[in-house]
């Protein structure tokens, strides 16, 4: 009787052990996770460097020295030059302005300076860089004469 009980005990133990073994099966290996590629892979944003906007440096305002004697005016009116003879310093500019309704044209006697025909209100400027006496006339009206003396 005791032997049977022992056998029964052993048998039940085997069954229990086996059951326990089968009750806890090894955990199934996790399915390999295959990373799914992102469906819309955004390209890395291209960072364009913003160009440095360098404000243009303002050029220094150069105020030309006021030389009141840089320019001399000769008016053309009533078919004559006024003043008919003008004396200037070397480097000065003579500006003829036609105040007549008729056209006039400045022509130096030696060809140093010549203007186009000047209509009413037109001006002609010439800078005298060499000293001397320069006689001129109107190419349209040769009786109109004038003189520029450059010191
Ligand atoms: Cu003239």
What's the gap in Å between 98 CA and the centre of ligand 1?
9
pLDDT at 92: 98
Token code pair at residue 80:
């004559």
Q: What is the pTM of this model?
A: 0.56
* CA 19 – ligand 1 centroid, Å: 135
Residue by residue, DSSP assigns 55-114 as PPPPPP-------TTSEEEEEEETTEEESSEEEE-TT-EEEEEE-SSS-B-EEETTSS-B
Domains annotated on the chain, with CATH: 71-150 (2.60.40.420)
In angstroms, rounded to a whole number, what is the distance separating the alpha carbons of residues 31 and 29?
Answer: 6
| CA 10 to each of CA 2, 5, 19, 22: distance values in angstroms, whole numbers, following the listed order | 12, 9, 14, 18
pLDDT reported for residue 140: 98
Q: What is the pLDDT along the chain (151 residues), one digit of tens a residue?
A: 555 444 444 444 444 444 444 455 555 555 556 555 555 566 666 666 666 766 666 667 766 555 456 999 999 999 999 999 999 999 999 999 999 999 999 999 999 999 999 999 999 999 999 999 999 999 999 999 999 999 9
The confidence score (pLDDT) of residue 7 equals: 43
Q: How far is CA 6 from CA 3, 17, 25, 61, 129, in A?
A: 5, 16, 29, 120, 142
Residue 35 CA, ligand 1 centroid: distance in Å:
98
Enclosing H/E stretch for 4: helix 2-23
Mark the residues whose beta carbon lies below 5 A from ion ligand 1: 104, 138, 140-141, 144
The pLDDT of residue 9 is 45
Distance (angstroms) between ligand 1 centre and the Cα of 146 equals 11
């Amino acid at each position: 009787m005791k032997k049977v009980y022992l056998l029964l005990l052993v048998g039940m133990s085997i069954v229990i052990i086996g059951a326990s073994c089968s009750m806890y099966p090894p955990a199934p290996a996790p399915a390999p996770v295959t990373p799914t590629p992102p469906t819309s892979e955004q390209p890395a944003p291209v960072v364009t460097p913003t160009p440095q906007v360098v404000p243009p440096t303002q050029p220094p305002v150069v105020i030309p020295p006021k030389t009141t004697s840089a320019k001399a005016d000769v008016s053309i009116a009533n078919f004559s030059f006024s003043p008919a003879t003008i004396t200037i310093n070397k480097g000065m500019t003579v500006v003829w302005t036609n105040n007549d309704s008729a056209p006039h044209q400045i022509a130096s006697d030696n060809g140093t300076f010549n203007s186009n025909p000047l209509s009413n209100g037109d001006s002609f400027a010439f800078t005298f860089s060499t000293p001397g006496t320069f006689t001129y006339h109107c190419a349209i009206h040769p009786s109109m004469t004038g003189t520029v003396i450059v010191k």
